[in-house]
Amino acid sequence: MSNPTEIKPAEAPSPSGLRLKARFPLLALIAERLLLSVLLLFAVSVLIFGGVEALPGDFATTYLGQSATPQAVANIRSELGLDRPLVTRYVSWLGGALQGDFGTSWASRNSVSEQVGKRLGNSLFLAGFAAIIAVPLAVGLGMLSVHFRNRMPDKIINVLSLAAISLPEFFIGYLLILYFAVDFGIATFPATVYDGMGLAERIQTIALPTATLVLVVLAHMMRMTRAAILSVMSSAYMETAELKGLSAARAIVKHAAPNALAPIINVVALNLAYLVVGVVVVEVVFVYPGMGQYMVDAVTVRDMPVVQACGLIFAAVYILLNMVADILAIVANPRLRHPR
């Protein structure tokens, strides 16, 4: 006879979403990151549009000058659609942006999408070339620093990286211009690229802005790589491997670096996002015809469609690279790749 005081909990069936997450945790986490990225980009679009609209001043007044009559200002505002409700203009702008149409520049009357396409290609070329140099160099220096930790090479690398982190990118850029373009004359300034330029000529033209970006992101990636590998090196199985006679270099390359892959991927992706989004200052310093220079020029004349397009594209690139970093870190986790 059963005990009447014994209470058996009811086993309610788990929801389908929970069952899917339990069976396919890797796919569930990737889908979650994708959804969060889309929602975040939508929220950023609202902030960009609302923030630009909240800026003081008016393009019509700036374009026509202070001597413009109220009727002329009203005509310009009506022509540009500024007399429509804010929500209507946002929906129209977002719908066009989703189709790749960012409208027409108020200042130049040219298609913003065409100009953005040219400028974005220049910025991606600059950021991509800097990444090709910075990423392997940072990972290699981080592993070298771990191999010689607490010795002279490690101390030299740490001191130089700390100095590079302490200097802002515009200061590094001006120093490179002073020494390599003005004093020695071995580099091109301004860094102007034209259609039809060969690859070698383009690389020579962007040498100084590339060097600036590499110096800016190299130190941070190197220090984070060093910290991630050192964290793995202090684990019990690495100590056991060293006690069994495995050389330090082989332990770092074969065992420590692969197990530190997730944090290294995260820091590399964040710095790649900075290379694309943070080129604004570098492009202005070197007068480089990229997205950053385009946005700064638009801000000076209050060309709001250009500012909104550049802001949304920068945000999309940053969110995309962070999403890729999260997904790669998830895929690099063996517990998620091989669930029990």
- Specify the amino acid at residue 298: A
Q: Which domain holds residue 255?
A: 112-337
| pLDDT for the residue 42 | 92
Domain contains 245? yes
DSSP 8-state assignment for residue 104? B
| pLDDT for the residue 10 | 47
Non-local CB neighbours of 149 within 8 Å, separated by 6+ positions? 230
| pLDDT for the residue 148 | 85
| pLDDT for the residue 335 | 59
Domain contains 64? no
pLDDT per position as a tens digit, 119-175: 888 888 888 888 899 989 988 888 888 888 888 888 888 888 888 888 888 888 888
| pLDDT for the residue 1 | 46
Residue 104: beta bridge partners? 111
Averaged pLDDT in 10-residue chunks for the chain of 340 residues: 48 51 68 88 90 73 69 78 84 88 83 86 87 89 85 86 82 86 74 70 84 87 85 74 72 74 79 80 86 85 86 89 80 60
Task: Report DSSP letters for 308-324, one per residue.
Answer: HHHHHHHHHHHHHHHHH
Domain contains 53? no
CA dihedral 256, 259, 227, 25 (to 10 degrees): -170
* Preceding peptide of 209 cis, ω within 30°: no
Domain contains 148? yes
| pLDDT for the residue 2 | 46
Q: How far apart are CA 32 and CA 87, in angstroms?
A: 29
| pLDDT for the residue 334 | 60
Q: How far is CA 68 from CA 56, 64, 76, 77, 303, in A?
A: 18, 6, 11, 13, 18
| pLDDT for the residue 43 | 93
Q: How far apart are CA 280 and CA 296, in angstroms?
A: 8
Q: How far apart are CA 41 and CA 46, in angstroms?
A: 9
Instruction: Output the six-digit token pair for 296.
Output: 């700064």
Task: Report DSSP letters for 209-278, one per residue.
Answer: HHHHHHHHHHHHHHHHHHHHHHHHHTSHHHHHHHHTT--HHHIIIIIIHHHTHHHHHHHHHHHHHHHHHT
Q: Tell me how many domains the chain contains.
A: 1
Q: How far is CA 237 from CA 70, 150, 232, 234, 242, in A?
A: 77, 22, 9, 9, 9
Domain contains 6? no
Domain contains 81? no
What is the CATH classification number for the domain harbouring 150? 1.10.3720.10
Domain contains 157? yes
CA torsion through residues 153, 158, 161, 162, sign: negative
Q: How far apart are CA 43 and CA 31, in angstroms?
A: 19
| pLDDT for the residue 177 | 87
- What ranges make up the beta strands (E) of the chain? none
Domain contains 34? no
| pLDDT for the residue 57 | 66
CB of 188 within 8 A of CB of 181?
yes
